[in-house]
Amino acid sequence: MNDRNLLFSPSLLGGNYSRAKEEADVISQSGADYIHLDVMDGHFVPEITFGAKFIRDLRPETDLVFDVHMMVERPEDMIPGIAEAGAGIITVHYEATGHIYRCIDMIKESGAEAGVAICPGTPVSALEPLLGTVDYILVMTVSPGWGGQRFIPAMVRKVKELDRLRDEEGYAYRIEADGGISMENIGLLYKAGLDIAAIGTSFFRAADKISFLEDMLGRAEGTL
Ligand code: DX5
Ligand code: ZN
């Protein structure tokens, strides 16, 4: 029996921001389930990308749910603006705020779904008090801040642990992984319990995006 589903959230960061609308179209037409938008503030991570205005401007260009990954310090300051701009999922980093509960509450009150992300050095146990309250847990499989980095295999264990806790305790969160995901590691991640793959570089490198996602699913399910 296999009623599991693997969803894809291609990251615009892997494309060209100067052609954001066209890249969003590429993602929409690929059969993906979400579009992953990486907000970076130059503090939590060195790079700066965009904020609420960009998200608001992009919103009418695609029907896909915006999966917004906030790599910013004090995300509580930005949550209302990002929600109002049209985010469907807002994920904040556990490491970025002293008020993670308040952030989750703010996201839920905005009508968006709430996610919490952990950097490679943060253990799953840090999230234990939050597991019953969040809709998504994002496991960073590289250090946050840049596309095109090498996948860290030790992170697969975190996905497995989150899947086990979900089973044992009856939690409802979905597990997302982000960073360095490719044909080489999607099988391991899916087997560990992954629900959503955020993919930048390998997605945009593929000449045919539709068959790329089909092949990823095949690799995940072991049919390829
Ligand atoms: C990195 C971002 C990712 C990035 C992934 O910090 O959070 O979403 O776009 O890109 P790849 O797949 O190239 O690692
Ligand atoms: Zn991301």
What domains sit in the chain, N to C, each tagged with a CATH number?
A: 7-221 (3.20.20.70)
| Nearest by Cα to 55 from 17, 28, 93 | 17
What pLDDT is attached to residue 1?
Answer: 37
Give pTM, 2 decimals: 0.97
- The rounded distance, in Å, linking the Cα atoms of 88 and 50 is 17
Q: Ligand 2: distance of its center to the CA of 69 in Å?
A: 5
Q: What confidence score (pLDDT) does residue 224 get? A: 78
86: CB partners within 8 A, 6+ apart = 55, 56, 59, 66
3-class state of residue 91 by DSSP: strand
For the chain, strand residue ranges (E) read 7-10, 34-40, 65-71, 89-93, 113-118, 136-140, 174-178, 196-199
Span from the CA of 208 to the centroid of ligand 2 (angstroms): 22
Q: What is the pLDDT of residue 223?
A: 84
Please tell me the predicted confidence (pLDDT) of residue 156: 98
Q: Which amino acid is at 7?
A: L
- Output the pLDDT for position 132: 97
Compute how many other C-beta atoms are within 10 angstroms of the C-beta atom of residue 180: 22
Q: Quick check: CB of 141 below 6 Å from ligand 1?
A: no
Find all residues with CB under 8 Å of 144, minimum gap 6, and list them: 44, 45, 71, 93, 117, 119, 179
Low-confidence ranges of the chain (pLDDT < 70): 1-3
Crossing angle between the packed helical segments 20-29 and 209-221, to the nearest 10 degrees: 50
Catalytic residue ranges: 38, 178
Instruction: Give residue 47 CA to ligand 1 midpoint distance, Å.
Output: 12
Ion ligand 2, residues whose Cβ is below 5 A away: 38, 69, 178
Tokens of 210: 């539709």
Are residues 130 and 99 in contact, defined by beta-carbon separation less than 8 angstroms?
no
- From the CA of 68, the nearest ligand is 2
Chain position carrying tokens 């080489």: 184
Q: Containing H/E element for 81? A: helix 79-84
